[in-house]
Amino acid sequence: MEIDLSILNPKARSMVGLDISSSAVKMVELSGGAGAYQLERYAIEPLPSGAVVDGNIANLDGVSETIGRCWKRLGTSTKFVAMALPTAAVITKKIILPANLRESEMEVQVESEANQYIPFALEEVNLDFQVVGPAPSSPDEIEVLIAASRKEGVEDRVASAEAVGLKPLVMDVEAYATLAAFDLVREQFPGGGAEDQVFALVDIGANAMKVGMIKGEQQVYNREQAFGGNQLTQDMVRAYGMSHDEAETLKRTGPMPDNYEAEILRPFLDNLALEVSRALQFFFTSTQFNEVHHIVLMGGSALLPGIGEIVAERTQIDTVCANPFAKMSLSQRVRPKQLLADAPTLMVACGLALRRFDQ
C-alpha cells in the first residue's frame, strides 16, 4: 500500500525513485510495466557525516549537493522524482466511514477524525487519506487510511530536491515503498512466497535495525532496535586509530587490514545475528505467531560478506539478501555484478521508482 501526500499525481510519466537515508542518497529509474520492468539505471552517493539525523535533514546544503551529484551520475534527463518520509515521521490510522460519502464529505470526516489522533495543529501537518476497500464489518462502510506528517519534514525533503532542479511529484512513506519493492522479492520464493508464509524483513541501516514481519499483503509486526552499521565503523575507529570518515571510506573501498575479518568483522556479524535472533524472540512472545519461514536482509550492512550464512546459522531460518531486480531485464548501463552487491540498499528507491506505474 502507498500513500500520496498530495504533492501531485504521477500520471505514468518517467520518474526517478529518490531515497535519502542516513548515510547515502540512492536513485533508481525503471521502465516497462507490470510484470516486465526494466532497470534503466541507478546511482548511490554517500552523504556527509551528520547530514541526516534520525531521519531529519540537518544539513540541507550537504543533502542537496549529494542529490545533485547522484542525479548527475545517474545520467538521466528525467527531473521528476518520487521521495519518501521516514516511517517514524508519519502518523497513520485506519478509520471506518460510510461507503456513500462524496469526496468532499469524506475530507470533512477525515479532518474531524484526524484532530483526535494527531498531536499537532492541523495547519502544521500535511494530511492525506486513501480508501483501502470495503470495511470487514459491514458492506455499507469503507476502510480509509489517514496519513499525517509535520509540514517541515515534507518541506525539507522537497527543498533538497528542488535546490538542484528536480521536481518532486510524490511523497511516499519509506515503509510502504519498501513493501512495494518487497512484492518483487517475494515472487522469487517457491510458490511466490505463499500467503501463509511469514517473512522477516530486516533493514540494517547505519544507526538502527528495523524488523518488519510480513504475512500475505500485511505487515503484522514491526520493531526498531538501536544497532546498525555505525557500530562496525566505531569498532574500526577504535582498532585502527582513524577518523569516522576514514573508516567509512575504507569500508567502501578497501583493502582491509589483515586482522579485519577475524577481529573486527566476525564479532560484528555475530552481534548482528544475535540482534536478529532477539527481534524474532520479541515477535514470538508478543504475537500469536510462532514461526518465521524466511529472513530477507536489506540496508547497507546487508552487503557485508558472509552475513546471510551467519544469520541463518544463528536463527536456523532460511536467510537471503533482498534483490528486487532479480527478475527484471537490465539496460546496458547497469553492471550486473555491481547491482548484485548494491541491490539490498536499493529497496526504498526501487519501491519509489515503481510509483510511476500507479494507475
Fold topology of 189-322: Nucleotidyltransferase; domain 5 (3.30.420)
With a cut of 50, list the residues of the chain below it in pLDDT: 1-11
pLDDT at 1: 38
Residues 109 and 129 sit within 8 Å (Cβ to Cβ): no
Pick the CATH number of 89-151 from 3.30.1490.300, 3.20.20.140, 3.40.50.2300, 3.40.50.720: 3.30.1490.300
pLDDT at 133: 85
Residues 205 and 306 sit within 8 Å (Cβ to Cβ): no
pLDDT at 13: 64
Residues in the chain, overall count: 359
- Which residue do the cell numbers 555491481 mark? 338
Residues 302 and 228 sit within 8 Å (Cβ to Cβ): no
Residues of the chain with CATH 3.30.1490.300: 89-151
pLDDT at 153: 85
Q: Is 85 left (phi over 0), alpha (psi -120 to 50) or beta?
A: beta
pLDDT tens digits for 241-274?
Answer: 999 888 988 887 889 999 999 999 999 999 999 9
pLDDT at 104: 87
* The three cell numbers locating residue 206: 547505519
Residues of the chain with CATH 3.30.420.40: 189-322
DSSP-derived letter for residue 193 is T
pLDDT at 26: 98
- Strand segments (E) across the chain: 16-20, 24-33, 36-46, 52-53, 56-57, 80-85, 90-98, 125-134, 141-150, 167-173, 198-204, 209-215, 218-225, 294-298, 318-321, 329-330
Query: Helix axis angle, 266-286 relative to 230-240, nearest 10°?
Result: 150
CA-CA distance, 355 to 80, in Å (whole number)? 11
Say what the alpha-carbon torsion angle 133, 135, 139, 140 is, to the nearest 10 degrees. -100
**Burial grade of 13 (CB within 10 A; 0-12, 13-18, 19 or more):** exposed
